[in-house]
Amino acid sequence: MFSRMRGWLCNCFWLLVPILIFNLLFARQLPAAFQADIFWQDIPKAISVPENIFRTIVMMLPILMKLRVSTRSERLGLGIYLAGIVLYFASWAALIVFPQGTWSSSGAGFLAPAYTPMIWLIGIGLMGNQLQISSVPFNRWTYWSLSATFLLFHNLHAFTVYSRGI
């Protein structure tokens, strides 16, 4: 029984916990354009609905994904994940510390928190290549495809906000 429970506790959702905590701690320090009342203002439903649906799937599916770092590709995934969260956190830091800076004012800088998750999501896919429920077919490409779809809409959303010139 303990072995089975331990298997369910070793899931990829734990990889999202530092990111979720970071977002909760620092979201209010981001520039005004990133605050919910402005960021979500007038976003077309054709962007916001699929973005939220795929965000939910991408954030909840890791609960079912086994977390492993025993193979070469899984260890590579851990390295990619760690590099990705460093870049993601740095993208926020640049916007918080230098909100009027050249980088933060550029499209690449403003959109960085929207596109850098691609890196840590690739890492999660490499480490979580199997579901806890072995009878359900699954591989990393499933997670990567869902993640890419989420990021497409998330980046369209961020670009829409950036295009307003706020």
Span 51-89, pLDDT tens digits: 999 999 999 999 999 999 999 999 999 999 999 999 999
Which helix (DSSP H) or strand (DSSP E) does residue 22 occupy? Answer: helix 13-26
Q: Is the pLDDT of residue 4 over 90?
A: no
Supply angle C-alpha 50, 52, 53, rounded to 5: 60
Q: At what angle do helices 72-97 and 107-115 cross, to 10 degrees?
A: 140
- Mean pLDDT over each residue of the chain, to the nearest integer: 94
At residue 166, the pLDDT reads: 65
Question: Residue 125: how many CB atoms within 10 A of its CB?
Answer: 25
Residues in the chain: 166
In this structure, what are the phi and psi dihedrals at residue 113, rounded to the nearest 5 degrees?
A: -65, -15
Q: Is the pLDDT of residue 3 over 70?
A: no
Domain carrying residue 27: 2-163
- Whether pLDDT at 117 is above 90: yes
The count of structural domains within the chain is: 1
How far from 39 is each of 27, 131, 159, CA to CA, in Å? Answer: 12, 34, 10
**How confident is the model over 138-160, as a mean pLDDT?**
96
Residue 134 scores a pLDDT above 90: no
